[in-house]
DNA sequence: CAGCATCCCTTAAGATACTG
DNA sequence: CAGTATCTTAAGGGATGCTG
């Protein structure tokens, strides 16, 4: 009986664990979000800068994913009153809490590439 | 001139950084891979166990994503000679190096959910 | 510069049914 | 139990052109 309770508890914990992973993944869904955040982790960036940094991204996808990130409170969008206007994107404090994830992914990617190359 | 070189170096570093992030994302692409790895991080699991743990995944997606993970050397697949046969999946040592990423995602997801709930 | 609108196409992924 | 085969759909995403 005690065992059953223990097993159920583990099972519940596991579900929550997986749900948490899923939540995170959802917020970072899309082909470019993680890279965009990776860019913004280096500091505030303008629309054009982002498009240049994130190689291959189109204007449509860039604005779409930026909007989603903004909606989720991960970045801010600030219009500069210049001529013509410029827009700056920046990670919010909350967005910065994603840094451990991004860093872990970047680090793993670097090691992985090393591994693949030496394996050849 | 020194500046130009410095800027270029930063630029190159950034590209590599983003490429690394991208590589990692590619290997974890698909709706279920991260969760599957999250399950296997708890220990070896059978096909059926995985399907029960990862709520909502269908048989087709499960085997597809497992195959991809195996191809990339992140998990092993072992057929047990029972009747009927059972198959066990397990993270490889290399697959286990993904743990920091998975953990970071799980942790963030938990915090995020807390934040959302208290915000209401 | 920053971004929207439109069109188009590929792919991911779900449902269902079947096999050794 | 551990998958495979087939079909279908929804969505993601690219290309292009246009606007304030």
What pLDDT shows up at residue B117?
A: 93
Nearest to B19 by CA among A6, A108, A64, A16: A108
DSSP state for residue A83 in the 8-state scheme: S
Q: How confident is the model at residue B81 (pLDDT cuts 50, 70, 90)?
A: very high
Instruction: Give the one of B54, B109, B115 whose C-beta lies nearest to A20's C-beta.
Output: B109
What pLDDT shows up at residue B13?
A: 81
What lies within 8 Å, CB to CB, of B42 at 6+ separation is: A14
What pLDDT shows up at residue B52?
A: 96
- Burial (CB < 10 A; 0-12, 13-18, 19+), residue A86, is middle
Q: Is the pLDDT of residue B87 over 70?
A: yes
- Report CA-CA distances (Å) from A110 to A54, B5, B24, B41: 17, 23, 9, 22
What pLDDT shows up at residue A119?
A: 85
Nearest chain B residue to A74 by CA: give it.
Answer: B112
Mean pLDDT taken over chain B: 93
User: Is A57's Cβ below 8 Å from some Cβ in B?
Assistant: no
**Hey, what CATH class is B31-119 in?**
mainly alpha
- Report CA-CA distances (Å) from B114 to A23, B7, B101, B105, B109: 12, 41, 20, 14, 9
Low-confidence ranges of chain A (pLDDT < 70): 1-10
Place of tokens 């950084």: B17
Which nucleotides in chain C have some atom under 7 angstroms from a protein Cβ?
1-6, 12-17, 20
What pLDDT shows up at residue B83?
A: 87
Q: Which of A63-77, B7-21, B53-67 comes out lowest in average pLDDT? A: B7-21
Reduce the secondary structure of chain B to three states and give it as a string: CHHHHHHHHHHHHHHHHHHHHHHHHHHCCCCCHHHHHHHHCCCCEEHHHHHHHCCCCCHHHHHHHHHHHHHCCCEEEEEECCCCCEEEEEECHHHHCCHHHHHHHHHHHHHHHHHHHHHC
- Single pTM value for the model: 0.92
Q: Is the pLDDT of residue B5 over 70?
A: no
How many CB pairs below 8 Å do chains A and B form together?
112
Find the mean pLDDT for residues B54-70: 98
pLDDT digit string, tens, across residues B88-98:
999 999 999 99
């Amino acid at each position: 009986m005690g065992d059953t309770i223990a097993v159920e508890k583990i099972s519940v914990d596991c579900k929550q664990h997986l749900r948490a992973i899923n939540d995170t993944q959802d917020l970072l869904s899309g082909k470019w979000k993680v890279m965009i955040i990776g860019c913004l982790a280096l500091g505030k960036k303008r629309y054009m800068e982002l498009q240049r940094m994130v190689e291959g991204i189109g204007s449509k996808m860039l604005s779409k994913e930026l909007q989603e990130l903004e909606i989720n409170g991960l970045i801010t969008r600030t219009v500069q009153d210049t001529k013509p206007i410029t827009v700056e994107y920046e990670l919010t404090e909350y967005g910065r809490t994603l840094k451990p994830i991004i860093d872990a992914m970047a680090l793993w990617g670097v090691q992985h590439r090393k591994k693949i190359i030496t394996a050849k």
